[in-house]
Structure 1
């Protein structure tokens, strides 16, 4: 782990964790401890029997043994996932459709303090091509199905295929267990037809059934549902919560969001890491 606070990322240390500042984390006093920090992991490769989850657990053990770590409602976790072989148009359609369909389940999982904020916006209601046009959830999914190119789909779903959508950057309570979001992503890739998916309730239990219906083999390091089930089983299976549109941001929230965007542009830690092959298995 190395210090990347307020300085450009220097050196090819892609296999290390990076500690950086984060202006979105609220602190009692701006210029003294506790400090708001972002911990950026190396790129992990998920494959059968890979030990990337052990590295996450080791990182937390190291920090907790040496520092007093606190959190508040402004803290969160986001995960970036990509496939080595890339995504086909069909796969991207299934992902976007399942994200929109199961949004009530994801909303039910989110901590209440993270609901309705600019970093976890609705991929349906806050999409200018869907919610702003008063399209229903199913109508939005039909529009997605009609896309004939990846570019068309990206332009249609800017809040889904980006870092600001609620599921693309799902915000959770600070997690000390390495949740296996690869399981959710792979379940989306093997998603069923629009007709079949509409038969599943958009509840937490329905989402869990959807993941299990993909029949992914239980492989430690790759498809291991133990961790994702910790999250899904922490709330009732019938729980569902409809998203609320963010609409126009207040001047304060807009300023905060712009500050974060400008801050990210000045950082090249993540950009440097994603430009290199994974170094940790």
Structure 2
């Protein structure tokens, strides 16, 4: 029998218990899934970073910590975490991110907000074709690649920037410090899908915002700290950035007094771009436990030095 500790808030238990047990059964795994075990009896920890569990030292038998979230920034630096850590790459989450990004890129591209605002008068607007609207992704991991490829299928010229070299069909790829501003220089729409690390914090700041074509638009469904908020507000006020749609923030929920709420060129969405889906995420967890029990490499193993 494999002992798996479910270490997330109690409210998540009813959401995940049945899908996880079904996924274990489908993989032929005999797993005792509980919210409470003696630490020395735990083989795997199914984990959410906002869990009360923050000290991993007593879990001496644990083979891996399996994150339920895509982001690991809250846990990766925990000095007590010596077990392998796997981030969540959930097919359902990926699909929802592709839909959110594609929907908002098309909203910008077709100028849907302005069309709605013109409901009291006849004022035709003919948007350019997709092939005339360059889009740049900052971040070409699993989510960035999936979204970039979806937009290439619609005819958008897509560029992407990553910290390390990437090769993605149909996407012009840049990397490293020297590639960031060239990647932004023609971007009419920028999509941020980078992890939250020391290297990526404020990657969109005064200097990089100035590198964009005047009137560029921004989508951030990635991480709140990727944007220097004060610099973005200044760029919005001058018109250097025409609009920003933001799904993630440094503090969540976004405080009621935050200037983003009232700014006419900002759309706030409440961290809804991509949520882990219990059924598909449970299959990922089950697959990793199966791999751990059959001496196969774990999926989506986090590189502690890179931070993701």
**With structure 1 as the length reference, what TM-score do the two structures score?**
0.26
Flag the structure with higher helix content: 1
Flag the structure with higher strand content: 2
**With structure 2 as the length reference, what TM-score do the two structures score?**
0.24
